[in-house]
């Protein structure tokens, strides 16, 4: 599982990992947030209404779920089981709250924290995405402060300061875990 603050580049690093390490697949998360331009249901996320999401929570369908910036996110157990049954490793892109739940439920899971090179760089990345209002960026930065404090909980930390270097470091961690 790969975690870190919003805007740190988790998705970009994961794309590099999946392109270069065979046998891995991204577990598609569920969310109550609306799709961004170009996102597709079942590909980028499983987009759900809050009521649908809560029904899955009540049924115990999530391995982990968390509220982040006012929206709910979670990993469906069926999504992980489908990937593992197909003989593929599952990469989870999740928030810190969810990573703690997965680590508790699956202690052998490899957990990697992606850290920004600085708080200023993270702010610039969030603003540069142009997907959030100023209030949303401020909320994400406040949450990021708390998440960065959790960094010592993770055995593996990759600082995303130079994309190629960070991608190689992530690939090394994953390869060491799957080919001990």
- pLDDT in the model for residue 180: 62
The angle formed by the CA atoms of residues 141, 45 and 114, to the nearest 5 degrees, is 40
Which residue, 44, 6, 4, 2, is CA-closest to 139? 6
Q: Return the CA Rg of the chain.
A: 16
- Maximum distance among all Cα pairs of the chain, rounded to whole angstroms: 45
pLDDT averaged over 10-residue windows placed end to end, the chain, 180 residues: 92 96 92 94 96 97 88 92 83 90 89 94 84 83 92 96 97 89
Structure tokens at 22: 């065979």
Instruction: Let me know how many helices (H) and strands (E) the chain has, helices first.
Output: 7, 9
What lies within 8 Å, CB to CB, of 36 at 6+ separation is 131
Write down the pTM of the prediction.
Answer: 0.85
């Amino acid at each position: 599982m790969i975690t870190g603050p919003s805007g740190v580049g988790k998705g970009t690093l994961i794309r590099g990992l999946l392109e270069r390490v065979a046998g891995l697949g991204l577990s598609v998360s569920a969310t109550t947030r609306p799709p961004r331009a170009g996102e597709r249901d079942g590909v980028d996320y499983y987009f759900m209404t809050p009521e649908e999401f809560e029904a899955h929570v009540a049924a115990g369908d999530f391995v982990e779920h968390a509220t982040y910036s006012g929206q709910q996110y979670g990993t469906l157990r069926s999504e992980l089981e489908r990937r593992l049954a197909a003989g593929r490793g599952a990469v989870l892109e999740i928030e810190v709250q969810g990573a703690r739940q997965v680590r508790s439920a699956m202690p052998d899971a490899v957990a990697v924290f992606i850290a920004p090179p600085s708080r200023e760089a993270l702010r610039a990345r969030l603003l540069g995405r142009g997907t959030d209002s100023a209030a949303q960026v401020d909320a994400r930065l406040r949450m990021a402060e708390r998440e960065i404090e959790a960094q010592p909980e993770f055995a593996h930390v990759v600082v995303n300061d130079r994309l190629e270097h960070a991608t190689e470091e992530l690939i090394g961690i994953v390869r060491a875990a799957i080919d001990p």
